[in-house]
Structure 1
C-alpha cells in the first residue's frame, strides 16, 4: 500500500488518507489529464459528517469557459491556516456528469483536531475552509456546542442568521432539510425577501397550480443548489463549520412521500420517479455527506440511502433519519376526504377520530397480508425503523440526539371547546352592551354550558343546530338577573350566538398537521414504547420543518388519560421561510369555512397591529406536554451540551426593512430551554 493512499470512485467521490510531511503540488490540478480544463469555485467549499478519523470535503469547480467533460483541481489539507503543515495534497477531477462537483473523504485524521483545507485549479484558489474532527469513540467529552437550522427559502425574508452563526464558537451545524425550495414565485414566496437575492428562473420548470413554477428536472434542481450556494454568507458558514445534513420535503416536492408530489389535491396517486431521481442526484452532488455512492443504475427512486449516525465521544450520539423517501401515504389520502379531494382533512386539520380509525384499518390490513402492521402507516419504513431502534439501544453516550425532520409533538385542537370559549366571550360582551349586565364572573360557567350544548348539537348538516339547554339554565341561575337573561335569550341573545356558529366540521377534535408525526401516531407510539421498555433516556429530537419554535415532551401515548413523557422535542424556526402563524392567518382570512375561527389565530388592534393568539390556542389544548410555543418566527437554535444538561437557546430574527437584512445583532434569544440528564423534564426561561 502506498504511503499516500488515493482511491477514486468515478472521480466524483474519492478517498484520501492523510499523511504528515507532504509538500504542496505546484500549479493547479496536478492531475496529468491533458484533456481537462481549469476551473473556478463559485459555490465555495464545505465539510461534513465529522468523525474521529475522517471528514468529507466538497466543492464545485466550474469550467472557466465552455462545457468540457472534466476540470482538473487539487485538494490541500493542513493542520495550520497557512498550509505550512500539509497532510493532504491530492489531484482531483471534477466531471460534467456530476455538474463539476467533487467530494473527497479524508481519512487517517486525528480526533478533536482542527484542519484547514482549500482547492486549487490553474490560477484559482478556493476560499479556505476550516473543519474539526469528532472526539474519539468513548472519550470523555466535557462539552459540545452546535447549532441546528432548517428551511432557508431564497425568496422570503433574509439570511442574516448566517452572519450571526459564523461568529459563534461551534463544533458543528445540523441542517434538518429544506436547504432549497423547489418552487420559485409561488404564492407563499410572494411576501418578499432580500433585494440582494435576485429572482430565480428555473431553466425547465413547470407551472405550479397555485402560482409560480416548480423544479422538474436535474437541471432545475442543480440550478437551485448553485443559486443558493452562491450567497456569500452561506458560503462563509460552510467554510467555517462542518455540517451534518438530512433532507426534508422541499429538496424534492412540498409534503412529498416517496416519489409522490402534492401540489394539487389527489395528484399523489401518480408516481414521479424520474423527478424524484433528479432531486436525489442533485442533493447528492451538492450536499456533502458520508454515505454510499448514489446508484445511478438503480431504476428505483430509492437509489440513495442517507440515514446514518455519528458519535461524539461518550457525550452524544446523533441519529439522522430520512422521513420522506420511505414514508407511506398520508393516513387519510386527499382523494378520500368527504366532499372532494382536499389537503384539509387529509394533511391539515384532520379529525382525530377519523385518523385513528383509518390507521387501525390499514394496520389490520397489513397484518392480514402477512406484513408488519406498521408497513402502511409509517414515516421511517420497516428497515429504517428497526435501524433507529438498534441505534438507540446500542448507544452508550449520555445523550442520544435525533436529527428529525418533522415534529413529534402532539399538536391537537378541540374545536368544540374553542368555539365554546369564543361564544362565551361574545355572549358576555353582548349582554354587557345590550342589557348592561356584567357576566364576567360567569365566564367559566357559560363556557362549560356552551361546550355541553355544542357537543350535543345536531351536526348532520353543514351548519350545527344547537338547542342551548345548558346555556339557558346557566343564564337563568345568575343572581338577580337570571329571569331577565332567560327572557331575553330567544329574541336577543340566541340570534347572535347562531350567527357566530362555525360550520359543523369545525366541532370536533383535530390534529393541525398530519404531515408530521401526529399523522403517523402508531409508529410514534411504537418508537416511544421501545425507549420506555428499554429504559433509554436522555433522548432529544432536533426538529425543523414547521416554521415555528416549539419545545415539549414526546409522550408514550398522547391519547391516554395520563400521557407519560418519554423524550424531548426541540423545534427550531426556519432560517427564512414564512411562519406557521402566517399560514394559518391566510387560511382564516381567505376561507369562509374557517373565518369564524379568526379570534383563535389573531386579533387586530385599533392601530391595525396584529396580536398573535395562535400561540395561546395551541398551548391551551396541548398544555400537558407543550412547554414553549412561538408560531411567528424565523430563526435558529444553539445547543450547549454537557454530561449534566442540555441547554438550547432559540433565536428569533428581526424582519427585513425595505428589502435589506437588519444589522447585527439581527436576532434575540426569546427562550432558553434546559433539560437535565436523567429526566425528560423541561424548564424554560424567557
Structure 2
C-alpha cells in the first residue's frame, strides 16, 4: 500500500516476446529468463546433475528453517540451501543436492519421530519443501536438515488438533507488511518468544522497491548491501535475491524457527496495487504477467507451502482452508490475483457507479463460491478469514459523501455484500476477519448497515499493524481523530509497528495488540497497547 512509482523494467524483460492467447495462456516465450519463469513441471523435466553435498564449503543454511500449513497428521518443513544468499545463484552450482531431514519429539533429537531425504533442485533455487506425514495431532515437534557435513538450526513446529477434537483454546498471531528498508524486524524477535500455536502472515512479506547500501532506515554503519538489491524487483533473479536479503534477517529467522506459519500474499510480493492481470502502470499485460510469474515462483520457493500451491506460470492457487479441531476453521483468502481492477483510477473516492457495479469482485467467482461452500459445511465455533485488505467500511473524511479506499473492500461493496450474505445464509455466528496491508492496527465491529446507528453487528475484524513498514509510527497518527469520528464501528486505532495475538476459546475470543516503541534502530521493546474480547454468539468487541 504505497503511492505509484515509475517502473524501470529490465531490458531483457522488455525484450521478452510472449504470445498471449486467452487468459494466462502462453504459447511462446523467447528469452531464457522468461522460459524459466514459465516452465511447468520442473524439476521433473530437468536434467541437472547431482552434486556431492560434502563439497559444500560454507554453511548452506544461512536462511534458517521454517514450517507451515499444519494439519492434524502433517506439516510442511522448509529450508533453502544458500551459502551466499545475496549473490546470484546463492553460492551453489546448477546441480541438485540431497538434503536429509529429521523430525523429533524433543529438542535434543534423542527421540526421532520421522526422517527422510529430499532433493534441492537448482530449478527451484535449491529450496526444500518436505511434507512430513503420519504425525500425531496437536503435538509439538522439532526438526532440522543436513546437507553434506552441515546441519541446520533446529526449528519447532506443531500439528493441528484432530478435525473433530474439542480443544479449549488456540492462540495465534497475525503479522503483515515488513519493509526491510523501513526498519528492523525486532517485532519478530518478540514474536518468537510468544507461546503460540500458529502465525498467520497476511501479506507484503517483502517489498519490490530498491534497498540502498545502508538498508534504508536501518542505516547500517558496519556493513554494506550489494548494489544489485538497489533496484526494483522485476526478474526472477531480482525476486530471489530480495528473498535472500529478507530471509537472512535473524529476527525473521527466529520467528520462523519458533512457530509454524500460514502465509498469504498481498501486492508487494509482486508489484504495488496490481489487480489480477492489471499492473500498477501502463506496461503490456504480457510483460506484467512475466513479472508476476517470476514473483509467484520466487514466493513459492521461499515459503513453507505444500505442493498444491506450486505455481504454474503466472498462476498460483494460494487460497486454502485449515481446521483446528472443532474450535476454528481458517479460510485463507487471496484478494489480489482474481480481483477486478480498482475503480476511479485507484484513487480515494466516494462510492459511485463505478465502484458499486455489482459485477465487480474482490476474490473472483470461484474463490467466492469456495468460501461460502466452506462456511455451509463448517461446524467450527469460530470461522476466521485471514486476508489482506481492509474489510469493514473505513470513511476517510468527515464530510458526506466521504471518500473510501478503492483498493480495499470499500471499492468492491457488492463483493463484500455477497460474502456477508453467504455467511448469513450459512448460519455463521462467530465470523472474524484478520487483515493486514494498512500499516496500522484497527479493531472493527463488522456491520451490514454502517449508516444506521445501532445496526446489527455481524462479526469482528482485527487488523494487524506492520512489522516495520511505515517506520516507527505513532500511537495516534494524523488521521486518528478523523477516522475514529467518521467510523463509530472502529473500536481501536493505533499507528505503531508490531503484531496482534488472538486467543480463541469456546466462549470468547481475545485480541491483544502488541506495539513496538521503535523499529528504526535495534533493540525496541514491545507492550500491549489494547486488548478486546468478543463473546461467542454475540459479535462485537469490548475493550478489557
Using the size of structure 2 for normalisation, the TM-score is: 0.84
Unaligned 5+ runs, structure 2:
1-40, 85-90
Which residue number in structure 2 is paired with residue 85 of structure 1?
A: 111
Distance 1:324 1:102 in 2: 26
In the TM superposition, 1:618-637 aligns within 5 A as 618-623=483-488, 625-630=489-494, 632-637=495-500
Cα pair distance change 1:309/1:179, threshold 3 Å:
same
**Does the alignment pair 1:655 with 2:514?**
no
Contact 1:413 1:509 in 2 (8 A): no
Matched, 1:229 2:247: yes
CA shift in 2, pair 1:41/1:611, >3 Å: closer
Map of 2:65 onto structure 1 = 45
Change (3 A) 1:128 1:536: same
Determine if contact 1:175/1:243 at 8 Å carries over to the other structure.
yes
Task: Call closer, same or farther: CA 1:197–1:626 in 2, change over 3 Å.
Answer: farther
Match of 2:507 among 644, 647, 665: 644
1:321 and 2:321 correspond: no
In 1: Cα distance, 2:339 partner to 2:538 partner: 30
Which structure would you say has the larger Rg? 1
Partner residue in 1 for 2:301: 285
1:66 to 1:309, Cα distance in 2 relative to 1, 3 A: closer
Give per-residue Cα distances to partners, 1:473-527, cap 9 Å, x unaligned: xxxxxxxxxxxxxxxxxxxxxxxxxxxxxxxxxxx52334210111111110111
Q: CA offsets, 1:269-308, max 9 Å, x none?
A: 7861100000000001001123515354x5xx22x10100
Q: How big is the shift at 1:185?
A: 4.3
Structure 1 residues 197 and 180 mapped into 2: Cα distance closer, same or farther (>3 Å)? farther
Q: How many residues align?
A: 489
In the alignment, which of 198, 209, 232 is matched to residue 183 of structure 1? 209
Call closer, same or farther: CA 1:248–1:291 in 2, change over 3 Å.
Answer: farther
Matched, 1:403 2:416: no
Tell me the alpha carbon deviations over residues 528-579 of structure 1, each in whole angstroms, 9 at most, x when there is no partner: 1222233311110111001011101221133567643211110011000007
CA distance in 1, matches of 2:77, 2:499: 24
2-side partners of 1:158 and 1:62: how far apart? 22
* Paired position in structure 1 for 2:310: 294
C-alpha distance in 2 between matches for 1:385 and 1:202: 43
Who is 1:19 aligned against? none
- SS of the equivalent of 2:182 reads coil
For residue 175 of structure 2, the aligned residue among 149, 163, 179 is 149
Secondary structure of the equivalent of 1:351? coil
Instruction: Mark the CA change 1:150 to 1:43 in structure 2 (over 3 Å): closer, same or farther.
Output: same
2:363 is aligned to: 380
CA RMSD of aligned residues (A): 2.6
Quick one: distance in 1 between partners of 2:505 and 2:401? Answer: 40
List runs of 5+ in structure 1 lacking aligned partners. 1-8, 13-32, 206-211, 335-346, 364-373, 417-507, 583-609
Change (3 A) 1:413 1:250: closer
- The separation in 2 between residues aligned to 1:104 and 1:143, in whole angstroms, is 28
Q: Which residue is 1:554 aligned to? A: 446
Distance 1:191-1:74 versus aligned 2 partners, 3 A rule: closer
| Deviation per residue, 1:299-356 (Å, 9 max, x gap) | xx22x10100101111111110001111110122x2xxxxxxxxxxxx232122xxx3
CA contact (8 A) 1:37 1:63 kept: no
Residues 172 and 196 of structure 1: is their aligned pair in 2 closer, same or farther, counting only changes over 3 Å?
A: farther
Q: CA, structure 1 residues 359+660, in 2 after alignment: closer, same or farther (shift >3 Å)? A: closer
Please say if residues 161 and 575 of structure 1, whose CA atoms lie closer than 8 Å, have aligned partners that are also in contact: yes
**Mapping 1:73-112, distance limit 5 Å:** 73-112=99-138
Match of 1:257 among 263, 267, 275: 275
Give the C-alpha shift of residue 404 in structure 1.
1.3
SS in structure 1 of the partner of residue 372 of structure 2: helix
Shift of the alpha carbon at 1:233? 1.5
Tell me the distance in 1 between the aligned counterparts of 2:112 and 2:530. Answer: 43
Q: CA deviation at 1:259?
A: 3.2
**Change over 3 Å in CA distance of 1:677–1:72 after alignment to 2:** same
Partner of 2:321: 309
**Distance (whole Å) between structure 1 residues aligned to residue 496 and residue 299 of structure 2:** 27
Normalising by structure 1, we get a TM-score of 0.67
Other structure's SS at 2:188 match? helix
Q: Does 1:515 align with 2:407?
A: yes
